[in-house]
Amino acid sequence: MTMKSLGRHLIIELFHCDRAILNDQKTLENYLLEAVRLSGATTIQPFFHHFSPHGISGIILIAESHFAVHTWPEYGYCALDIFTCGEQIKAQEALVFLRGKLGAGTVSTMEIKRGILDLPQSEIRHKPDQGS
């Protein structure tokens, strides 16, 4: 029996980013929304918060899970999570886009398989059957 996961979670650290962008809530939100679109995911709802004196945290709930971001402009650092269910989402395309837009000099990525189930592939469903 083959082990199959429900989703994959990319834990991404971006260093030496453009500090102004990391502290610009509207621009950051627009970039994240575009990254979701490029990945092929379905946006449900974005929520972003700007901290005082600086830093932003945000999440975009997607039908396939979420994109989340936390910034430390004073260090040029951004923590990004891309958690998606299924095999159709192009998370790597979203990451390439965001790395460029944020001007990241260095990127570290770790991938974690989530929901590893000891079931046959035919029994793994990321969304309920429409007729059920």
For the chain, domain boundaries: 17-118
Q: Is 132 a catalytic residue?
A: no
DSSP state of 37: H
Topology classification of domain 17-118: S-adenosylmethionine decarboxylase (3.60.90)
How many Å apart are CA 15 and CA 107, to the nearest integer? 6
Which stretches of the chain score pLDDT less than 70?
1-3, 120-132
Cβ 91 vs Cβ 82: under 8 Å:
yes
pLDDT at 131: 43
What is the pTM assigned to this prediction?
0.86
How many Å apart are CA 113 and CA 132, to the nearest integer? 27
Q: Is 126 a catalytic residue?
A: no
Mean pLDDT over the full length of the chain:
90
pLDDT at 127: 55
How many Å apart are CA 121 and CA 123, to the nearest integer? 5
pLDDT at 69: 98
How many Å apart are CA 112 and CA 104, to the nearest integer? 22
Catalytic residue among 70, 78, 108, 132: 70
